[in-house]
Amino acid sequence: MLKTETRDIDGLQVTCTEFPCLQQYALLPRIGELGPLIERMAVGPFDEDSPLLLAASLSRLKPEAARALPVALLAGCKVGDAVLASEEAIARAFGGNLRASLKAVLFALEVNFGDFFADAGRSAPPAPASTTASPAASGPTSPPASASRSTRILRPRGRAGDSSAKDG
């Protein structure tokens, strides 16, 4: 059974219905490109700064992907009675309110993937304790064999010369 949730977003009544699992599978590689935002999902619910994190994550994508991903995620949502099944419907629903549209995309991510990423965060191995040895002395490091495979698959692959893909 697909869940449906409703939330007031900046005075707009937004309703999102969960996608069937095969549609969620198809979206996983695309949302994996959001990198830090997905890592944020693993530690708990979104907060007031999350729209800015989403905007920063989208800005790392090619313009076509940055435009298409919110459309794909909002396809299971509506504002009032208006189904957000197209770019035109999204533009009519949000007008120039970028922050409300970003909050709606975050809401769609929570409805469709929130439980999955929260479970991944709870099952991830603890971070290794820091040591005083310098990386040069201990040689190159790689993720521990016990690291979650899904975490490594979803880790962002920054563009050449892009330092924003580093954790930190």
DSSP 8-state symbol, 4: E
How many CA within 13 A on the CB side of residue 115? 6
- The ranges assigned to domains in the chain are 4-125
**Cα torsion angle, 38, 51, 62, 89, sign:** positive
Closest by CA position to 104, among listed 20, 1, 4, 8: 8
Tokens of 133: 């040895």
- Per-residue confidence (pLDDT) for residue 56, from 0 to 100: 93
pTM of the full structure: 0.70
- Per-residue confidence (pLDDT) for residue 122, from 0 to 100: 57
Query: Which value, in Å, is the radius of gyration of the alpha carbons in the chain?
Result: 18
Chunked into runs of 10 residues, the chain (168 residues) has average pLDDT values of: 96 97 93 86 83 93 95 97 96 96 96 80 49 43 40 43 46
- Per-residue confidence (pLDDT) for residue 46, from 0 to 100: 85
